[in-house]
Amino acid sequence: MAVREEDLRQRVAELLAAHDPAATDRLDFLRARFDAGLAWVHFPEGLGGLGAPRPLQAVVDAELAAAGAPGNDPRKIGIGLGMAAPTILAYGTEEQKRRFLRPLWTGEEVWCQLFSEPGAGSDLAALGTRAVLDDDTWTVDGQKVWTSSAHTARWAILIARTDPDVPKHRGITYFVCDMTDPGVEVRPLRQITGEAEFNEVFLTGVRIPDAHRLGAVGEGWQVAQTTLNNERVAIGGQAAPREAGMVGVVAGTWRARPELRTHDLHQRLLKGWVDAEVARLTGERLRQQLAVGQPGPEGAAMKLAFARLAQELSGLEVELLAEDGLAYDDWTMVRPDHVDFTGREAGYRYLRAKGNSIEGGTSEILRNIIAERVLGLPGEPRADKNVPWKELPR
């Protein structure tokens, strides 16, 4: 029987009655919330959800926030929540789902994404990290790069080449990699913002039990599509109130600093505001269409719009601030434990937003996806089709 809004309110009330947020340890509360099926209501029962329609999550979140309940800080566990979880849910064994999803959601275990390599970014399917099976253990060797939160992660979703003799898309397998394995070496990579949010990760003789494989051997590319489609929605397609995100920040600056206003900036801000509102409504509409099931290539459109807006608006804010826009808060190299696109000051936001059109698939690749998979335009002639991976030029 379908779960209704009243049922959810009832469940929230029961959770709060049994675990008074004011008197309960944060982690205990989060675990109890997960066990009550109120973590992500659209997930199945027993895995933090109730099989309820996804939009009802907002009801739960609002009730719990009003009661002062602690949250799981999505800024620290975005890759787990947005990418690993839906992939595990779609492809994991029962055992994998039970083992991984609860600590992922509570934030006890941070996840990172070991996909990109120095030679395989946009052309991710060309990746060269090797995984070889011996008995029931895989041995992994290779190098990954631009890995956000590798320095805080307990687990990684990893794609590696398991068959170099077949065309590139067919020889890839998807794994869950233990970041505490002695063969995993994480080195910080400093970003243009001054901080090192991402890393390079060297994998040398890393051991992965076959039980930590997600999906069939050689079908890692399909599994990765689930991750990537969810990543784009996670970055660009979240439900949000009007003036959330970058537009809200810039609007706030505009309202607070009347002395900076000019006609030119005013028109540009209003245009950005309209674009942001239209993007918000587009996302809302998309979510209504996709209330059930996995996101498709349309998610690419949301992420494309998000990146463009974030960049235009953050650039406008620096210009608006004029003399204050010449300043920067702090260049000190730190390794942050969270990602916050709208945090810190205008200069930081401007620089960080530059990554939005690169991470999770560049805006150019997203346009190709829209052109080819949404509009059905013919693809580029491919030199790498039907060629065994090992024979590809590099």
Partner 1 sequence: MTDATGPADLLYSEVEEELRSSVRALLADHCPPEAILARCEGPVPYDPALWRKLAADLGTAGLQVPEELGGAGASLRETAVVLEELGRSAAPVPFLGSAVLATTALLACGAEELVSSLAGGERTAALAVPLSTAPGAGFPATVRVDGAGTLSGRITSVADALVADVLLVPAVGPDGAALYAVDAAAAGLAVARRTSLDLTRPLADLALTGVPGRRLAAGAAAGEAVRRALLTGAGLLASEQLGIAEWCLSTTVAYLKDRTQFARPVGSFQALKHRLADLWLETVGARAAARYAADVLARGDADAEVAVAVAQAHCGAVAVRAAEECVQLHGGIGMTWEHPAHLYLKRAKADQIALGTPGAHRAALAHLVDLPAPVAG
Distance CA(185)–CA(180), nearest Å, equals 9
Query: Which residues are near partner 1 by CB under 8 A?
Result: 116, 120-123, 126, 145-146, 189-192, 194, 262-265, 311, 315, 318-319, 322-323, 325-331, 347, 350-351, 354-355, 357-358, 362-364, 367-368, 380, 382-384, 387, 392-394
Tokens matching residue 208: 């992965």
Residue 147 binding partner per list partner 1, ligand FAD, none, with a CB distance cut-off of 5 to 8 Å that depends on partner kind: ligand FAD
Q: What are phi and psi of 198, to 5 degrees?
A: -110, 175
CB nearer partner 1, residue 219 or residue 319: 319
How many CB atoms are closer than 10 A to CB 242? 11
Tokens matching residue 235: 């970055």
Distance CA(272)–CA(181), nearest Å, equals 46
Choices 109-117, 161-169, 204-212, 270-278; region in contact with ligand FAD by CB under 6 A: 109-117
CB 77 within 8 A of CB 40: no
CB 366 within 8 A of CB 228: no
CB of 253 to partner 1, least distance (A): 15
Tokens matching residue 98: 């039970």
CB nearer partner 1, residue 283 or residue 347: 347
Residue 392 binding partner per list ligand FAD, partner 1, none, with a CB distance cut-off of 5 to 8 Å that depends on partner kind: partner 1
- Work out which of 238, 275, 362, 390 binds ligand FAD, going by CB under 6 A: 362
CB of 242 to ligand FAD, least distance (A): 27
**Closest to 148 (Cα-Cα) out of 358, 341, 361, 337:** 337
Tokens matching residue 390: 């090992």
- Work out which of 8, 50, 64, 365 binds ligand FAD, going by CB under 6 A: 365
- Sites for ligand FAD among residues 124-183 (CB under 6 A): 146-148
Would strands 155-161 and 111-114 be described as parallel, antiparallel, or unpaired? parallel
**359 binds ligand FAD, rule: CB under 6 A:** yes
Distance CA(228)–CA(321), nearest Å, equals 36
CB 51 within 8 A of CB 3: yes
CB of 73 to ligand FAD, least distance (A): 18
* Backbone Cα Rg of the chain: 22
**Closest to 312 (Cα-Cα) out of 361, 369, 249:** 249
Would strands 137-148 and 130-134 be described as parallel, antiparallel, or unpaired? antiparallel
Distance CA(81)–CA(96), nearest Å, equals 15
CB of 339 to ligand FAD, least distance (A): 8
CB nearer partner 1, residue 109 or residue 195: 195
CB nearer partner 1, residue 192 or residue 270: 192
- Sites for ligand FAD among residues 177-216 (CB under 6 A): 198
Q: What are phi and psi of 126, to 5 degrees?
A: -85, 5
Strand-pair partners of 206 = 140
Residue 115 binding partner per list partner 1, ligand FAD, none, with a CB distance cut-off of 5 to 8 Å that depends on partner kind: ligand FAD
CB nearer partner 1, residue 298 or residue 317: 317
Residue 331 binding partner per list ligand FAD, partner 1, none, with a CB distance cut-off of 5 to 8 Å that depends on partner kind: partner 1
CB of 265 to ligand FAD, least distance (A): 28
**234 binds ligand FAD, rule: CB under 6 A:** no
CB nearer ligand FAD, residue 240 or residue 358: 358
Question: CA of 229: how far to CAs of 204, 248, 309, 350, in Å?
Answer: 29, 26, 20, 25
**337 binds ligand FAD, rule: CB under 6 A:** no
CB nearer partner 1, residue 162 or residue 193: 193
Distance CA(117)–CA(159), nearest Å, equals 10
| Residues designated catalytic | 231
CB nearer partner 1, residue 49 or residue 236: 236
Distance CA(26)–CA(64), nearest Å, equals 13
Positive or negative, the CA dihedral 179, 144, 333, 79 is negative
Choices 3-11, 30-38, 174-182, 358-366; region in contact with ligand FAD by CB under 6 A: 358-366
Choices 101-109, 222-230, 276-284, 361-369; region in contact with ligand FAD by CB under 6 A: 361-369
**111 binds ligand FAD, rule: CB under 6 A:** no
**Binding-site ranges for ligand FAD (CB under 6 A):** 112-113, 115-116, 121-122, 146-148, 198, 355, 358-359, 361-362, 364-365, 368
